[in-house]
Amino acid sequence: MSEKLRSSDWFEAKGKLGFYHRSHTKSEGFPNDLFANRPVIGIGASWSELAPCNAHLHDIAQSVKAGVWEAGGFPFEFPTLALGETLMRPTAMLYRNLAAMEIEELIRSNPLDGIVLLVGCDKTTPAAIMGALSCDLPTIILSGGPMMNGSFRGETVGSGTDLWRFAEDVRAGVMAEEEFVASEACVSRSAGHCTTMGTASTMAVISEALGLALTGTSTIPATDGARRTAAHIAGRKIVELVRMDLRPSQIVTRRSIENAIVINAAIGGSTNAIVHLSAIAGRAEVELDLADFDSLAKEVPTIVDLKPSGRFLMEDFHSAGGLPAMMVEIADLLHLDEMTVTGQSLGENIAGSKNYNTEVIRPRQAPLFPAGNATVVLHGNLAPNGAVLKLSAASPELCIHSGRAIVFDSIEEFNSWADDETSDVTASDILVLRYAGPKGYPGMPEVGNLSIPKALVKSGLRDMVRISDARMSGTSFGTVVLHVSPEAADGGPLALVETGDVITLNVEERRLDLEVDSEELSARRSRWTPPDYRGESGYVSLYRSHVLGAEKGADFDFLVGRRGAAVPRRPT
């Protein structure tokens, strides 16, 4: 432990100031002897009834507290911004940076020596990691765990993935509206986050892959008693980490981020992980290029057979041995000497872990998808700064494809067109959505997996090439090119596409090109006018002024990097 606890500046101060800090805190019922020489642990719970995936986190916090007391610490639970994916508009992503900033500032401004951050729904995990990295005090990330497996009419159903399927079935007239409504409570059956390998599950796994979560904790179902046990142990462990002074800056390095990228490929993780890991790298002051996601994943087979790419759900993944068992399968691709919050290396953590179900965690020789089928990074004259495509969710026959572009400037415009059964759209057309990037929408919503037009869905078509500067839910599937950068609102070439232009997608060559000559593109550029945001105020105005491109993680330019835990003072 560093000689003096950070919290002693508050609680062991003499005179008026010490009185002030202790007196009000004692009103919560704490005896005097707790205020000296005890690591003060903040338990930040992103709890809210408006964020159903995180609604149980206040309960989980009580188990963390028990562990902190037991280890001789002094726990304080505090609320952090709860970002619920399902209810927030226009998109929870608009507020990820706000949550990260809130967490960083709450940690720094309070008498804390160590922190356990309780997370669940998609954006709460990257926000917590980003905030913790910038402040850099000993931190453990603890996810709330996935919901129980969904079950509807005898079929196992997963969050998001089966909703998208059912919705298309309703549009195609093969599922009744009443059945659709009846399935709602059967998909979401308990506390916890989405059951599929969507963004929440991916980011929980990534927090463990980075070394910030205790071994094996990222997959434990929310309602499993083991989730509370993990919380109790996290409470004990954070006190130990304070005594060791083990900080995120010693854990999140270029090599641990490489581990996370490899693991994201092996689990068939969400495309959103690319945006969040890019932002995390920025906070950790690690150089990371979008192309790194492609090159590092090239040798990695997808071996976890979970929806949306495969068949099973998170509960099955946990029963099969969870992340440690999966890491053993690809141990030679990982930097096993990386330090973690267990106080041991990744290799020490996973030694001896066993795979109990080779259907769920497939052996390397029989992967779900062979190496090179994870998320690929595309460049070309349509995406000079890059774009991504999740190959394991795409149709192989569409991965090399040229087609006529049909262009939309908003998701609302697309939605009303998509339901028009008289349109002349064909299966080989390419749907283009723009002004849906970080700045354009704002917040880069998950609308990139545009619905198949009604005129085609009735004939049984379930996939076509779609391109946008938006994101898509980690539970989605299809040949969907996302995160095109620069975004249209920043004057990226996407803004210059016209309906009728030909676009070529060539995954093999990692290219995305607009087949229009440069003279014509220059003429279009001279006619293009940027969106007018004058008159905007409040948070949205701050967001649009400072958000970086998708390839930089859509963080705020002024939040990149570490600022440390020192309380700001007037310059002398």
Look at the chain and count its residues. 572
Tell me the β-bridge partners of 468: 433
Q: Which of 60, 68, 115, 121 binds ligand FES (CB under 6 A)?
A: 121
Q: Does 305 bind ligand FES (CB under 6 A)?
A: no
- For ligand FES, the closer of residues 41 and 100 by Cβ is 100
Tokens of 472: 């898509």
Q: Which of 200, 277, 497, 547 binds ligand FES (CB under 6 A)?
A: 200
Q: What DSSP assignment string belongs to 388-452?
A: EEEGGGS-GGGSEEEEEEEEESSHHHHHHHHT-TT----TT-EEEE-S-STTTTTS--B--SPPP
Using CB under 6 A as the binding rule, the residues of this chain from 23 to 62 that contact ligand FES are: 53
- For ligand FES, the closer of residues 193 and 307 by Cβ is 193
- For ligand FES, the closer of residues 94 and 194 by Cβ is 194
Q: Which of 122, 162, 292, 551 binds ligand FES (CB under 6 A)?
A: 122
Max CA pair span of the chain: 79
- For ligand FES, the closer of residues 60 and 432 by Cβ is 60
- For ligand FES, the closer of residues 86 and 229 by Cβ is 86
Q: By rule CB under 6 A, what string of x and - marks binding of each residue 77-116 to ligand FES?
A: --------xx------------------------------
178 exposed, middle or buried (CB, 10 Å; 0-12, 13-18, 19+)?
Answer: exposed
Using CB under 6 A as the binding rule, the residues of this chain from 167 to 196 that contact ligand FES are: 193-194
Tokens of 396: 């192989």
Q: Which of 46, 159, 219, 504 binds ligand FES (CB under 6 A)?
A: 159
Residue in 333, 78, 315, 108 with CA at minimum distance from that of residue 218: 315
- For ligand FES, the closer of residues 213 and 383 by Cβ is 213
Q: Does 198 bind ligand FES (CB under 6 A)?
A: yes
Q: Does 204 bind ligand FES (CB under 6 A)?
A: no
- For ligand FES, the closer of residues 53 and 374 by Cβ is 53
Q: How do beta strands 502-506 and 400-408 pair?
A: antiparallel
Q: How do beta strands 466-468 and 480-485 pair?
A: parallel
Number of residues that bind ligand FES (CB under 6 A): 10
Q: What DSSP assignment string belongs to 472-505?
A: --TT--SSEEEEEES-GGGT-GGGG--TT-EEEE
d(CA 190, CA 194): 10
The continuous run of DSSP H or E covering 116 comes out as strand 114-119
The nearest distance, CB 147 to ligand FES, in angstroms, is 9
- For ligand FES, the closer of residues 113 and 315 by Cβ is 315
| Contacts to ligand FES by CB under 6 A | 53, 85-86, 121-122, 159, 193-194, 198, 200
